[in-house]
Amino acid sequence: MNIPLSRPDITVRECRAVLAVLESPYLSLGPTLVEFEETIATYVGVRHAIAVNSGTSGLHLIVRALEIGSGDEVITTPFSFIASANCIMMERARPVFVDIDPETCNVDVTKIERAITARTKAILGVDVFGRCADWEAIKTIARRHQLAVIEDSCEAIGAEYRGRKAGSFGAAGCFGFYPNKQMTTGEGGVILTDRDDVAAACRSMRNHGWGNSRNGPVCTRLGFNYRLSDIHCALGLAQLSRLEQMLAQRASVADLYGARLKNIAGVVLPPPAKEGRLSWCVYVVRLSDRYTRADRDHVLRGLRDAGIGCGTYFQPIHLQPIYVERFGFRRGDFPETERIADRTLALPFFNALTVSQVDEVVDGLHQQLRLLGDRHGD
């Protein structure tokens, strides 16, 4: 494709940092891992950071560390990446979905309490597209019902809500560092928490369940190989040192899109953050309700044929085959999620996207909408 959907921002600094680890004796479980964890914990303002090999692994370990299991229920959103619900199912608990606020695309906090039952153990909120959920409302509900709060901030490093950074609101939170994110470690993630017990459990479980005794390491619990190597952490440290610069670049690209798209009829732009800072992970617009899912798919095909990377964010979790088969979900269960998901369109978005590339994307989108108008006889 001429303009990719995403592209990581890798400089000489990252290459040198990785090479330095490759030339050292410590490729895994070494000092660079410790430095990365300490640096990101300080950045977020939490006591503990536990690096893992993906955001998905991080969410899974948080669920296990909070002792959520068979028969338990966890409230979450159907409008997210599949891992937000899979991590619950991996421990044989049941995800209970609550529909979204159509403006923010985050969970509609006014609908959470009616979904709480005697089996509810936690609320897993998601900072969708880098926009913080209404954490104060979620935490108030959780306190009232004595529930744990899990923060899926895999798309939201650097986002802020009421003066606090994403990743600092729940019993534990998690960032993801896949290459399309604000910063990357290639593959990777990190768990964030102020709780000593959660941190200890997650550190043990990411490394096969090892713990320490007077006679050396012993396996104290069932664990996994969810480690993140020092090589990945070196890349992450270099990225973290440039994070604020990269967030500013992404905000500038988002502003470019907003200025050029605001007058195109039928395109709904992402709203600004109301109580903090939006950390731009992806740039997702949606088509207005006059358009159908088939119309959106037609636009996707047209843009891709023109060499412009684009995608849909997100596919409703409850309509994925495994969820339909296991829980009997069907179309119509969460109407706002479905209405939004049918019309979302992720446009190319990365730090180095140029003005001319933005113009090409916007012109291409405008052309596809005009073609749709011709098809509909507008």
Instruction: Give dist(CA 45, CA 182) in Å, integer.
Output: 19
Tally of CA atoms within 13 A in the half-sphere of 230 that contains its CB? 18
State the Cα angle at 191 between 186 and 195, rounded to 5°: 165
How many domains does the structure of the chain reveal? 2
- Rounded to 10 degrees, the C-alpha dihedral 314/136/117/84 comes to 30
Instruction: Give dist(CA 324, CA 347) in Å, integer.
Output: 29
CATH number of the CATH domain containing 208? 3.40.640.10
213 and 270: one domain?
no
pLDDT at residue 263, rounded to an integer: 92
267 and 120: one domain?
no
Measured between alpha carbons, how far is residue 369 from residues 290, 300, 374 in Å?
12, 11, 9
Give Dmax over CA atoms of the chain in angstroms.
79
Whether the model clears a pTM of 0.85, i.e. scores above it, the answer is yes
Provide the H-helix boundaries in 134-271.
135-145, 196-206, 230-241, 243-261
CATH number of the CATH domain containing 342? 3.90.1150.10
Domain that holds residue 322: 244-376
Q: For residue 368, what are the contacts with CB-CB under 8 A and spacing of at least 6?
A: 298, 299, 302, 303
pLDDT at residue 289, rounded to an integer: 96
Mean pLDDT of residues grouped by 10 in the chain (378 residues)? 93 98 97 98 98 98 98 98 98 98 98 98 98 98 98 98 97 98 98 98 96 80 97 98 98 98 96 94 97 97 97 96 98 98 98 97 97 75
237 and 248: one domain?
no
pLDDT at residue 374, rounded to an integer: 67
pLDDT at residue 305, rounded to an integer: 97
Instruction: Give dist(CA 342, CA 229) in Å, integer.
Output: 39
278 and 200: one domain?
no
What DSSP letter does each residue of 314-357 carry, written as one string?
---GGGSHHHHHHH---TTSSHHHHHHHTTEEEEP--TT--HHH
pLDDT at residue 205, rounded to an integer: 97
Task: Please identify every residue annotated as catalytic.
Answer: 181
Q: Is position 64 within any domain?
A: yes
| Domain boundary residue, one of 241, 259, 276 | 241
358 and 271: one domain?
yes
pLDDT at residue 378, rounded to an integer: 64
